[in-house]
């Protein structure tokens, strides 16, 4: 379970997150929507400690990840992140991309790590690409490898920041399919996306962010069909 209390984040004078309070339950899929610049990426990056937060607390399974006493790297390893731009390591093969962190961070031996990696590749449908370099893959394949790479650390929660926004339309489906399967298996997920179909189908809850606040949150059906806030209505009328 993740609890976010009074989270604030500023870049210099610019307060990007203004008092975010959010609880994410185990096995829950939370979809975050909102206009550009509303702070969606920043929220995910704070949960993964890629940004140092200005004030507030983030607790993962009761442990305050913002507490300086906790090992920031251990905390990060519990949280998987999938980026819009994939960020695969281009100098390593697909299987090496996946094995690197388990071997170097968790200290798992090469062989079991490889076996686990191949298993994950099978899961995302890319077992035959194990020895390929990322440059030879399509965008959809890259993103599926990136998901497998994050899963290899056995994270307690997976964060997705617009995982399909950089993809050609025809390969968006294959990535969403992998994410749906993950959701079915009970992975706790926070997904920033413009894919409203995905939000409706897979999301347990949709959060609408605007101007650094969570303006409204509800079950997908409720939020999409019966938004209470004016800003939500205005946003949805543009994207639906």
Ligand X SMILES: Nc1ncnc2c1ncn2[C@@H]1O[C@H](COP(=O)(O)OP(=O)(O)OP(=O)(O)O)[C@@H](O)[C@H]1O
Binding footprint of Mg ion on the chain (CB under 5 A): 41
Inter-residue contact 116 to 152 (CB < 8 Å) = yes
Contact set with other proteins (CB under 8 A): 48, 50, 73-74, 76-77, 79-81, 83, 85, 87-91, 100-101, 104-106, 146, 149-150, 153
Q: Considering beta carbons, is residue 32 or 88 the nearer one to other proteins?
A: 88
Angle at which helices 139-151 and 169-184 pack, to 10 degrees? 20
**CB burial of residue 10 (10 Å; 0-12, 13-18, 19+):** middle
Across-strand partners of 237? none
Q: How far apart are CA 122 and CA 64, in angstroms?
A: 35
Q: How far apart are CA 10 and CA 13, in angstroms?
A: 7
List the single partner that 142 binds among ligand X, other proteins, Mg ion, none, CB under 5 to 8 Å by kind. none
Least Å distance between CB 18 and Mg ion? Answer: 17
DSSP for 143-176, please give it.
HHHHHHHHHTT--SEEEEESTTTTS-HHHHHHHH
- Residue among 3, 56, 81 at smallest CA distance from 212: 56
Q: Which of 7, 29, 38, 145 contacts ligand X by CB under 6 A? A: 38
Q: Considering beta carbons, is residue 162 or 216 the nearer one to Mg ion?
A: 162
Q: Which of 25, 26, 27, 37 contacts ligand X by CB under 6 A? A: 37
Q: Considering beta carbons, is residue 48 or 232 the nearer one to other proteins?
A: 48
Kindly state whether residue 36 participates in binding ligand X, applying the rule CB under 6 A.
Answer: yes
Q: How many residues bind ligand X (CB under 6 A)?
A: 11
Least Å distance between CB 78 and other proteins? Answer: 8
Kindly state whether residue 89 participates in binding ligand X, applying the rule CB under 6 A.
Answer: no
Q: Which of 2, 28, 33, 42 contacts ligand X by CB under 6 A? A: 42
Give the largest CA-CA distance in the chain.
55
Angle at which helices 94-104 and 139-151 pack, to 10 degrees? 20
Kindly state whether residue 239 participates in binding ligand X, applying the rule CB under 6 A.
Answer: no
List the single partner that 63 binds among other proteins, Mg ion, ligand X, none, CB under 5 to 8 Å by kind. none
- Residue among 148, 141, 201 at smallest CA distance from 175: 141
Residues that bind ligand X (CB under 6 A): 11, 14, 16, 34, 36-42
């Amino acid at each position: 379970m993740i609890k976010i209390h009074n989270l604030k984040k500023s870049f210099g004078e610019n307060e990007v997150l203004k008092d975010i309070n959010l609880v994410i339950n185990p096995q829950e899929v939370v979809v975050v929507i909102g206009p550009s610049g509303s702070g969606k990426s920043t929220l995910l990056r704070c949960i993964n400690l890629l940004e140092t937060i200005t004030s507030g607390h983030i607790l993962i399974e009761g442990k305050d990840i913002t507490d300086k006493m906790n090992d920031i790297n251990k905390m990060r390893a519990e949280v998987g992140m999938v980026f819009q731009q994939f960020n695969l390591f281009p100098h390593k093969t697909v299987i090496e991309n996946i094995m690197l962190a388990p071997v170097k961070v968790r200290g798992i031996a090469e062989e079991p790590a490889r076996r686990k990696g191949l298993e994950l590749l099978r899961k995302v449908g890319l077992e035959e690409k194990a020895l390929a370099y990322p440059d030879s893959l399509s965008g959809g394949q890259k993103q599926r490898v990136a998901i497998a790479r994050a899963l290899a650390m056995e994270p307690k929660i997976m964060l997705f920041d617009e995982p399909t926004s950089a993809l050609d339309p025809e390969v968006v489906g294959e990535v969403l399919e992998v994410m749906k399967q993950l959701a079915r298996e009970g992975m706790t997920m926070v997904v920033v996306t413009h894919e409203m179909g995905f939000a409706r189908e897979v999301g347990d809850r949709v959060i609408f962010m605007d101007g650094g606040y969570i303006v409204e949150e509800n079950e997908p059906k409720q939020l999409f069909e019966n938004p209470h806030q004016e800003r939500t209505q205005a946003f949805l009328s543009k994207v639906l």
